[in-house]
Structure formats: C-alpha cells, structure tokens
C-alpha cells in the first residue's frame, strides 16, 4: 500500500471511486469531480488550490493505492490551520472507498499521512471528526490522538478534536 499524488494516470480509477462513493458528500471534498467538464480542468483547479488560493490554505492530496493499483482511500493534508480548520476541519481529512472499509485502511493511511506532515515540519497535527463518527475517532486514537476540547457549531453539531504529536 502506498500514497501517490493525484495525476492524470489515475483518472479512470478516480472516476470509479467517485461513482462507488455515490450521492453522499465526497470526503475529503478536494477529490470531488462534480462541476468539472474534464479531468484536466479538475487537475488544474486542484493544483491552484494546493498552492493556497481564496479560502484554501496550502495543502497536499494523495490516493492510497493497493498492490493491484486500485485506489482504496484518499487523504488531504492541510499544511497550516485557519479558523475553520482550527475548529472543524483539522490538518488531515480522509475517506475510504465504501467497499474497502473496516479493513484498517484509514488507520494505515493516517499513519502514512502523519509521515508526510513530519516532512512538512509540522510538530503536532490536529485531526477532527463528528461526534457520532465512532470509526473515525478510533482511527485517530489508534494513531496517538489526544483529545482536546470539542467545538460546538451554531447548528448544535459537535466536532471532536484530537492532537497528534509528531
Ligand atoms: C471513517 C472511515 C474513514 C473509516 O475508514 P476504515 O478504513 O473503515 O477504518 P479502519 O478500518 O482503519 O478502522 C475503523 C475502526 O472503526 C471500527 N468500527 C467500524 N464500524 C464501527 C461501528 N459501527 N461502531 C464502532 N466501531 C466501528 C472498526 O472495527 C475499526 O476499529 P478496530 O480496528 O478497533 O476494530 C470510513 O468509514 C469513511 O471513509 N467514512 C466516510 C468519510 C469519513 O467519515 N471520513 C472521516 C472524516 S473525520
């Protein structure tokens, strides 16, 4: 299993993944293909976002690939926090292909993403999840997450916040 960058050669795999994800909101949103006429247009926009434009802080995106070159999960690493990320989004967002869940891939991918954060010279990383996302909380705890104060949004939703020392 390895992390690879988002590139044109993964187009058909990426499209198959999005299809399998279905109508649910894509997590992380940086991998959503909706609203783009072509894959090239998506890649172009992603490249600009990765540099940090408008509300986006500089960030990196990777696919987790299995030994059959199939995308099993996706991760978005934010290189620094803004107010929204400090409260809700955290440094790292991830999602696993529906048919590949509960096989330990999120746990493995978060561990690999933490190594990338270390390369970015981050000292500690914030990872968050919705209060009712028990699976994600387990993934974070298994990667050494220490729970901080939760964030309570205006709509009443509660976000759990964990720090991982690198
Ligand atoms: C959350 C998500 C990333 C987990 O991915 P995953 O690859 O299935 O996670 P893992 O297999 O590494 O670990 C999941 C853990 O949750 C546990 N789990 C699964 N279903 C559970 C349930 N209903 N209740 C309690 N624990 C559960 C698993 O047993 C496992 O823990 P264990 O290793 O102690 O047994 C995946 O479900 C997903 O993509 N969800 C949609 C997007 C999302 O929520 N992203 C995270 C945003 S913070």
Ligand 1 pocket test: pick from 88, 129, 135 the residue with the most ligand atoms within 8 Å of its Cβ: 135
Average pLDDT of the segment spanning 104-126:
97
pLDDT at 140: 98
CA-140 nearest atom, ligand 1: 48
Ligand 1 pocket test: pick from 94, 102, 129 the residue with the most ligand atoms within 8 Å of its Cβ: 102
Span from the CA of 23 to the centroid of ligand 1 (angstroms): 19
Nearest to residue 139, comparing CAs of 125, 149, 128, 148? 128
Question: Which uninterrupted H or E stretch holds 128?
Answer: strand 124-130
**What is the residue with the minimal CA distance to atom 14 of ligand 1?**
135
Question: What would the 3-class secondary structure string for 74-98 be?
Answer: EEEEECCCCHHHHHHHCCEEEEECH
Span from the CA of 76 to the centroid of ligand 1 (angstroms): 17
Sequence length of the chain is 166
pLDDT at 38: 97
CA-128 nearest atom, ligand 1: 48
Residue 55 has pLDDT above 90, yes or no: no
CA-110 nearest atom, ligand 1: 12
Span from the CA of 109 to the centroid of ligand 1 (angstroms): 12
Nearest to residue 27, comparing CAs of 53, 61, 50? 61
Average pLDDT of the segment spanning 5-12:
98
Residue 92 has pLDDT above 90, yes or no: yes
Residue 53 has pLDDT above 90, yes or no: no
Task: Give the domains, in start order, of the chain with CATH numbers.
Answer: 2-165 (3.40.630.30)
Residue 37: partners with Cβ closer than 8 Å, 6 or more residues away: none
Ligand 1 — pocket residues by CB below 6 A?
A: 27, 94-96, 101-107, 129, 133-136, 138-139
pLDDT at 64: 98
| pLDDT-above-90 percentage for the chain | 96
Residue 7 has pLDDT above 90, yes or no: yes
Residue 46: partners with Cβ closer than 8 Å, 6 or more residues away: 6, 30, 61
């Amino acid at each position: 299993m390895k992390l690879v960058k988002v590139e044109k050669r993964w187009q058909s795999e990426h499209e198959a993944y999005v299809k399998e994800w279905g109508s649910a909101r894509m997590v992380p949103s940086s991998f959503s293909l909706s609203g783009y006429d072509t894959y090239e247009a998506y890649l172009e926009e992603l490249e600009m976002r990765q540099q940090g434009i408008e509300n986006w802080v500089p960030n990196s995106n990777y696919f987790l690939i299995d030994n059959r070159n199939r995308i099993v999960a996706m991760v978005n690493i934010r290189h620094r926090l803004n107010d929204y990320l400090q409260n809700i989004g955290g440094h790292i967002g991830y999602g696993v292909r529906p048919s590949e869940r509960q096989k330990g891939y999120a746990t493995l991918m978060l561990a690999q993403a933490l190594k990338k954060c270390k390369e970015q010279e981050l000292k500690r990383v914030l990872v968050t999840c919705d209060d009712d996302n028990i699976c994600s909380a387990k993934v974070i705890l298994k990667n050494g997450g220490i729970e901080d104060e939760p964030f309570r949004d205006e709509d009443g939703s509660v976000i759990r916040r964990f720090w991982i020392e690198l």
